[in-house]
Amino acid sequence: MSKPAPPVQKNDTIEVTFEDLTHEGNGVGKIDGYPLFVPYALPGETGKVKVIKVKKNFGFGKLLDVTEASQDRVDPPCPVYVQCGGCQLQHMSYQLQLDMKQKQVKDAMHKIAHLSDVPVHPTIGMEDPWYYRNKVQIPVGQDGERLKAGFYRKRSHEIIEMDTCMIQDEHNNRMVEAVRRIAEKYGVEAYNEEKHRGVLRHIMVRTGQTTGDVMVVMVTRTKQLPYAEQIVEEIRETYPNVKSIVHNVNSKKTNVILGDKTTVLYGDDYIVDRIGDIEFKISPKSFYQVNPVQTKKLYDQALAYADLKGHETVIDAYSGIGTISLFLAQQAKKVYGVEIVAPAVTDAKKNAKLNGMNNAEFFVGEAEKVFPWWKSQGLDPDVIVVDPPRKGCDEELLKAMIEMQPEKIVYVSCSPSTLARDLRILEDGGFETQEVQPVDMFPQTGHIENVAWLKRK
């Protein structure tokens, strides 16, 4: 039997009651069972909606008016919230954000991993869910003589200018504005994406929130940054606590922000930050979690799940600059880290030294290739920790993990769907998922981090 035609047509204006939220934060209303996704609508609300896209199995609408508002609706404090694509959840209470993220993880466990009985705990939130990000990467554009800096408008590359981003550390906001103003003063031209001409593409700022260290990276299309000396001097005058000023060249036509060539213009090629009792050196290209307050909670949870007694051999896959590895090394006999980005591994080795830890060893390579090699060398881990990018673990790596038969696996993930996919594979390979803890690393946005642990059956 063929499916009935959608009960709505493009440009219809209809009244919709919303029942649910998608992980992007869109309200979901059903019209005779046909789901309509509507940005800025909340569950429990009724609103007037204009239908803007009709597909076979679902449609999209624009919220024209809220006729019955949810108790969880709040005024978004950021003046450019609706234009800017950075945040998706500022119009809902923080408690609803946390509940929605927990539900999203439960749904993924149920639908993708087929693990409906695994406990998914309430999301660990922040006391103050604002101004938390330690890293910003802002595109630069030209407006006549002026340079403008701001995030892109949703689904476009139009720059929305702003004074302050309310999820950024204030150091980052002020530094971006200082660099924009100084570069403008020296007539540095912004990069023009369409013509692939011009100079300054992005301003990146990273702040060590516990140390106050600040790193500025200016990314240009051209090999030279004009007036580099003067610009550096003025940045230092404006911002005496800047620890590192870096020039990065990205001459490719690409959406990737950093290019291959990095030159230090002033100070060190790293900044220092602290998580708990451990200090970390962080270079421009190394991955470092963006929300240090929540990172501590995430790593504490990973460590609690690993439940180390001091005699264990642990592997930390996707180890970055060695953050989780060194947390684990405090309580394990030996930790082996593997990471694909060579400068991050250099950072990890320096970080082990910096903290006087000699029981952590780091390797450059693809985890899925290094694991089988480790196995062939007789490495027999008690615990394996993984923290892959959004796409999850490589299949070869999962296979190698299953073959290594550790007692425990701790899985840190920034994507509930790939986490659920990989848990299913590990379950089928003889492991049992014990629990999942969501941690809100990215308040006001739809993203959610999780840590799960599995026991060998």
Q: Which residues are annotated as a binding site for S-adenosyl-L-methionine?
A: 289, 318, 339, 387
Structure-token match 């941690």, residue found: 439
**Sole binder of ligand SAM in the list 169, 312, 387, 449 (CB under 6 A):** 387
Scanning 146-154, 235-243, 251-259, 315-323 for contacts with ligand SAM by CB under 6 A, the matching segment is: 315-323
Nearer to ligand SAM, 104 or 289 (CB): 289
Joined tokens for residue 74: 């709040």
Site for ligand SAM (CB under 6 A): how many residues?
20
Nearest approach in angstroms of CB 377 to ligand SAM is 18
Distance CA 331, CA 359 (A): 10
Q: Which of 318, 362, 374, 442 binds ligand SAM (CB under 6 A)?
A: 318
Toward ligand SAM, which CB reaches closer, 104 or 323?
323
For ligand SAM, the binding residue among 320, 406, 438, 443 (CB under 6 A) is: 320
| Residue 18 Ramachandran class (φ > 0 left, ψ -120 to 50 alpha, else beta) | beta
Angle of helix 228-238 relative to helix 170-185, nearest 10 degrees?
Answer: 140
Query: What is the x/- site pattern for ligand SAM, positions 326-365, by CB under 6 A?
Result: ------------xxxx--x---------------------
User: Residues comprising the binding site?
Assistant: 289, 318, 339, 387
CB closer to ligand SAM, 338 vs 420 = 338
Contact letters for ligand SAM, residues 407-436 (x by CB under 6 A): ------------------------------
Closest CA to 167 of 130, 128, 203: 130
Token pair recorded at residue 190: 């912004």
Please choose, from the candidates 394, 404, 398, 320, the residue with its C-alpha nearest in 3D space to the C-alpha of residue 360: 320
Closest contact distance (angstroms) between CB of 40 and ligand SAM is 30
Residue that is written with structure tokens 């190698």 in the block: 400
Q: DSSP string spanning 390-402?
A: TT---HHHHHHHH
Point out the residue whose Cβ comes nearest to ligand SAM.
Answer: 320
Judged by CB, which is closer to ligand SAM: 48, or 274?
A: 274
**Residue 22 in tokens:** 């998608």
DSSP structure string for 300-364? HHHHHHHT--S--EEEEES-TTTHHHHHHHTTSSEEEEEES-HHHHHHHHHHHHHTT--SEEEEE
Q: In 3D, which of 8, 110, 111 has the Cα closest to residue 58?
A: 8
Contact letters (x/-) for ligand SAM, 391-410, by CB under 6 A? ---x----------------
Query: Could you tell me the smallest distance in angstroms from the CB atom of residue 445 to ligand SAM?
Result: 16
Binding mask 266-295 for ligand SAM (x = CB under 6 A): ---------------------xxx------
Q: Please, what sign has the CA dihedral across residues 128, 134, 137, 138? A: positive
Q: How far is CA 398 from CA 17, 105, 413, 426, 433, in A?
A: 43, 21, 14, 7, 15
| Using rule CB under 6 A, residue 389 touches ligand SAM | yes
Residue nearer to ligand SAM on the CB measure, 38 or 400? 400
The answer to whether the beta carbons of residues 337 and 361 sit under 8 Å apart is yes
Exposed (0-12), middle (13-18) or buried (19+): which is 314, by Cβ within 10 Å? Answer: buried
Contact 94, 125 (CB under 8 A): yes
Integer Cα distance of 93 and 352 in angstroms: 41
User: Which residues within the stretch 55-94 sit at the binding site for ligand SAM (CB under 6 A)?
Assistant: none
Catalytic residue list: 414
Could you tell me the smallest distance in angstroms from the CB atom of residue 336 to ligand SAM? 12
Among 26, 102, 283, 319, binds ligand SAM (CB under 6 A): 319
Q: Which is nearer to ligand SAM, 70 or 355 (CB)?
A: 355
CB of 307 to ligand SAM, least distance (A): 19
Residue 269 or residue 366: which is nearer to ligand SAM going by CB? 366
Give the interface with ligand SAM as residue ranges (CB under 6 A).
287-289, 318-320, 323-324, 338-341, 344, 366-368, 387-389, 394
